[in-house]
Structure 1
Amino acid sequence: MTINYGVLLGFVASDDAEISLQSGQFEGAIRFRVDDLQKPIENPENINWESYARGAVYALQNFGYELKKGIIGYISGVKGLDSSGLSSSAAVGIAYLMALENVNGLVISPVDNIQLDKSIENKYLGLENGILDPSAILLSRHGYLTFMDCKTASHSYVYFSELSKSQQCQGQLPFKILLAFSGLQHNLPKKRGYNTRVFECKDAARALLCATGCEDASCILRNVDPAMYEAQKCILEENLARRAEHYFSEMKRVVKGRDAWARGNLHEFGQLISASGRSSILNYECGSKEMIQLYEILLKAPGVLGARFSGAGFRGCCLAIVESDHAEAAAAYVRAEYEKAQPELVSKIPADRRVLVCEPGDGARVI
């Protein structure tokens, strides 16, 4: 599911192979050519807003697509939500991919664009990101829950059973999405906590696979049978045990969440979101002090059914599902309580961007 806020890239085809870009959030201009050979970034400290445009060219080149035309463009996110943790890097990468594909007459499916964006993140930028963010951005449909299998890249759509499909298309859903901004801003590549968690999950998978005689399998927790995990989890070191517990409990929550949504049970759906948030803090050990404070404030707000970090919890936003009739009251409560808890951080956030009441959105597209 996406929201009705996002990244906009206005573009036209250039007369030649040159890319020329400006940003609403960052100073300066980018100029390079699509026929320049792009090489992966070796030092994550060198990643900046230019990197995602170059990464898009890199991914398309590596997948064998021919680029002859560049773009002249202006890219901008939502003012006040820079570095907010709202899948912003994936959204930017996808915007550049779709623009370059458009001007070069390339017809590329959403599924293939997911892999192209993954190439930007993994191979060009050196991050250990998976496909969840680009999949949500590219595959979401307004009013529907997207149910994904990140291993097989298969997906399906689940509609809310209390409403007919025609009603959902008109936006008549019984909930809103609250986004509460912490005021913490930094780039994921410069904070290696996320990659560390990924490596710990791989270590946990390796130990479990070896214990069950599956040493040759790829070291991801998805390759560990849940029954085998239950039988062998006692062998894991304490921190690896917590990472694995987060993973396997999250897998259960996803399936339960899909079923709750299909039954129209928003209360159960919200409880599962909150449980995911708690596990992120206790088992995955993500979340700064400020983000945890914000998460706990959201849980106490009127009409909130569930809350969690919007991403890894090192920066940016927390989100909540809230009953439509209580959305504005919940937003006011969160604004007031978080300002009491973190007055200095809140003072740096534009007043109209501290808490947003959002609607479900649609997938990425050229308009």
Structure 2
Amino acid sequence: MVAPAGGGSPSRWPSDEELDIVRKNVVEISGRDAREVRVVACPYRICPLGAHIDHQGGIVTAMTINYGVLLGFVPSDDAEVVLQSGQFKGITRFRVDDLQKPIENRGNITWESYARGAVYALQNSGYDLRKGIIGYISGVNGLDSSGLSSSAAVGIAYLLALENVNDLVLSPVDNIQLDKSIENRYLGLENGILDPSAILLSRYGYLTFMDCKTASPSYVYFSELSKSQQPQGRPPFKILLAFSGLQHNLPKSRGYNMRVFECKEAARALLCASGSEDAPILRKVDPGVYEAQKCILDENLAKRAEHYFSEMKRVVKGREAWARGDLQELGQLISASGRSSIVNYECEMIQLYEILLKAPGVLGARFSGAGFRGCCLAIVESDRAEEAAAYVGAEYERSQPELVSKIPADRRVLVCEPGDSAQVILQS
């Protein structure tokens, strides 16, 4: 399960300046020396292909980007956890030897819930927690990371910090399951394992393919990286993230959880028609059975199933395109994924998606995350990335001025590069 060595040098993240800011805040909270401060860097992830099929046991693709969550921390002298956020007011305090119980009312989820959820996950897996942390957590540049796995990045950051101060050595696979426990059991989300897998297993220069049925990753190297004429072997593409200004609370969203339910109902009907008693997820349905029996599904279930089976085909083709460095075909597949998300999964950010497709140098675009809020992503030619970002920003502001006004000007469209996996950084 160990990722292969990366094939190049990602754009440096976090920077020395970002690390210094986090360390300074921890010193102010804890009164400790800056040299004692450790920092967890958890990158955000994108999913170029494999939209909405992780919870059905599908095969998905992922890579991290050079933005993410930073958690600076020092060990507590006892079991107390003391935390401050760069985005939210107040200081939260609790103890790692307090028994944490799942949140029953999802409206009560706050920024501190993820820290408590990490303690809950470790407690329920039998790990002995004796020391807490004194910490400061911040999304880089205050980025509104909707659609980029911010919740998984935060959960993993707390897990890695708590494990570090308690001398617990866990594998990435262990932490993937622990983060799933935070999301599913503590917070009540129906998330799959894509987000934590991407954050913990991705490596620069590779596209991670995650089989969500077997929880096994594989890695495909971008062949054009070694041929790149750009400095430090960087790829000939960058990633645009365009934020919509649409926001709502994901756990309350009928959109996401209802579609997960509909996928399972489609699987249940198809499996029943074939005489199978397997658990109702679409990965258990043979593609031949789907083609023969899809006529029995009602309109909504038929759309969900069509998205799953067509997206699985796109992932297979995308693997081949990435391996040979064919960004044109990869981009076409990504855009087709976006269209299927609109037609068959009924995602809502259609206008932003269409603007991205028209931007100069954009090879492909689709939604990032659930597609009901947050952002869209695009793969763009490196030398046209800034031009494309300016175009998207101007066009979206012209069409949706009220939504754009909710987003800080420097965060409306970001130009990103591929990143690396989560890590704990010690003071040198």
Where structure 2 has 5 or more consecutive residues not aligned to the other structure, the ranges are 1-62
Could you tell me which of 262, 266, 285 is aligned with 1:200?
262
Correspondence 1:325-364 to 2 at 5 A: 325-364=383-422
Write out per-residue CA displacement over residues 51-99 of structure 1, whole angstroms, 9 at most, x where no aligned residue. 1111101111111111000000010003352252211101000000000
Question: Helix, strand or coil: the match of 2:366?
Answer: strand
TM-align CA RMSD: 1.5
Give the residue type in structure 1 aligned to 2:287. P
Is 2:391 the partner of 1:320?
no
Paired position in structure 2 for 1:7: 69
Shift of 1:348: 2.2
Question: Helix, strand or coil: the match of 2:127?
Answer: coil
Paired position in structure 2 for 1:234: 295
Paired position in structure 2 for 1:249: 310
Give the Cα separation in 2 of the matches to 1:252 and 1:285.
Answer: 19
Task: Indicate the structure with greater strand content.
Answer: 2
Give the residue type in structure 2 aligned to 1:198. V
Shift of 1:163: 3.2
Paired position in structure 2 for 1:266: 327
Give the Cα separation in 2 of the matches to 1:185 and 1:120.
Answer: 22
Write out per-residue CA displacement over residues 310-364 of structure 1, whole angstroms, 9 at most, x where no aligned residue. 1111111111000011111101100110000111121221111111110100111
Give the residue type in structure 2 aligned to 1:230. E
TM-score with structure 2 setting the length: 0.83
CA contact (8 A) 1:38 1:55 kept: yes
Paired position in structure 2 for 1:122: 184
CA contact (8 A) 2:64 2:202 kept: yes
Number of aligned residues: 363
Give the residue type in structure 2 aligned to 1:156. S
List structure 1 runs of 4+ shifted beyond 4 angstroms: 165-169
Q: Percent identity?
A: 87
Give the Cα separation in 2 of the matches to 1:174 and 1:67.
Answer: 45
Give the Cα separation in 2 of the matches to 1:274 and 1:318.
Answer: 11
Paired position in structure 2 for 1:145: 207
Question: Helix, strand or coil: the match of 1:7?
Answer: strand
Indicate the larger mover: 259-268 or 341-350: 341-350
Question: Helix, strand or coil: the match of 1:145?
Answer: strand
Is 2:252 the partner of 1:190?
yes
Paired position in structure 2 for 1:105: 167
TM-score with structure 1 setting the length: 0.96
CA contact (8 A) 2:282 2:308 kept: yes
Give the Cα separation in 1 of the matches to 2:156 and 2:345.
Answer: 28
Could you tell me which of 341, 351, 354 is aligned with 1:293?
351
Is 2:94 the partner of 1:32?
yes
Give the residue type in structure 2 aligned to 1:45. G
Write out per-residue CA displacement over residues 145-166 of structure 1, whole angstroms, 9 at most, x where no aligned residue. 0011011011111111223399
CA contact (8 A) 1:3 1:361 kept: yes
Question: Helix, strand or coil: the match of 1:213?
Answer: coil
CA contact (8 A) 1:80 1:350 kept: no
Paired position in structure 2 for 1:161: 223
Question: Helix, strand or coil: the match of 1:242?
Answer: helix
Where structure 1 has 5 or more consecutive residues not aligned to the other structure, the ranges are none
CA contact (8 A) 1:85 1:316 kept: yes
